[in-house]
Amino acid sequence: MKLKGQYRLVYSLDNVKNELVLDVELKQRESLFKTGENLWYGVATLNKKPYTEEDLTHCVDAQLAAKKIGRELLIKTKNDAKKKKVVFRIIKEENE
């Protein structure tokens, strides 16, 4: 179980460099627990802003969650660029 994970993607759209940084952190619940409830929950931030599109209440590995969400964002960005007929290139992709 890893408590912190990060996915970093540096890409270009028509030779304009962009960066996407997704951080996922597991935090321990402080309230009373119900039977069968997870002790940990995930919190994600995308470029220093809260990311709530993914449900991380049952997350047990922050690194795997960051990689999964990051790959989904990569595919979404790639498809948006294709629709707009913009040149999309990956410069650097990291998963820590």
pLDDT (tens digit, 9 = 90+) per residue, 40-90?
Answer: 889 999 999 999 999 998 888 999 999 999 999 999 999 999 999 999 999
Report which of residues 39 and 48 the model is more confident about: 48
**Dist CA 5 CA 65 (whole Å):** 8
Domain of 70, in residue numbers: 4-95
Structure token pair of residue 4 = 């912190």
Query: Could you give the number of structural domains in the chain?
Result: 1
Q: Does the pTM exceed 0.85?
A: yes
Report which of residues 32 and 90 the model is more confident about: 90
User: Collapsing DSSP states into helix, strand and coil, what is residue 13?
Assistant: strand
Q: Is the pLDDT of residue 29 over 90?
A: no
